[in-house]
Amino acid sequence: MTVMLHRLDTLARPDHGWRAVCAWGDLIPERGAAALVDGEQVAVFRLHDASVAAVGNRDPFSGAHVMSRGIVGNRGEVPTVASPMFKQVFDLRDGRCLDDPTVSLECWDARVHGGLVLLRRRS
C-alpha cells in the first residue's frame, strides 16, 4: 500500500477541519492513493475530470484496508471504485455500495486548493 505522509497540514485551514494530504500532481489520474489523516486511512482518487474524491480505505466486506487499490470507473454519470477484494462497486460521491445499498464507505470532503489536495471528515 502506498501511504502519502506529506507534512502539509499547516497549509490547510485546521480551523475548518481541512487537512492537506498531498500535492494534486502526486496523484495519478484514475488511480487511488492511501493517506493517513488524523490516524485514519483514507483512499484518495484523482478522477478523469481532474476532480478528487476520498472515501475510507477499509473495504467493509473483507475488512482489509485496500480501497485505494480499487478499480476506478463509473456507472453512467456516477464515479465509482470497485473493491479489489470482492469487486463490490461504491459511489465515490457518497460512499454507497451500488451492489448492496445497505453498506457504505465513510466519505470525506475533498478539494484542490493551491495545488494541494485537502480532505475533511464529512459530517
Averaged pLDDT for residues 9-31:
82
State the Cα–Cα distance between residues 26 and 46, nearest whole angstrom: 10
Instruction: Detail the DSSP E strand segments found in 1-123.
Output: 3-4, 19-23, 31-37, 40-46, 52-56, 71-75, 78-82, 89-91, 107-113, 116-121
CB 24 within 8 A of CB 84: no
Q: What is the pLDDT of residues 93-120, one digit of tens each?
A: 999 999 999 999 999 999 999 999 999 9
Q: What is the pLDDT of residues 22-78, one digit of tens each?
A: 999 999 999 999 999 999 999 999 999 999 999 999 999 999 999 999 999 999 999
What is the pTM (predicted TM-score) of this model?
Answer: 0.87
Q: What is the pLDDT of residues 67-96, one digit of tens each?
A: 999 999 999 999 999 999 999 999 999 999
Type of residue numbered 92: L
State the Cα–Cα distance between residues 94 and 109, nearest whole angstrom: 10
Instruction: Give 68 or 16, the one with higher predicted confidence.
Output: 68
CB 118 within 8 A of CB 19: yes
pLDDT score, position 15: 54
Percent of the chain whose pLDDT exceeds 90: 86
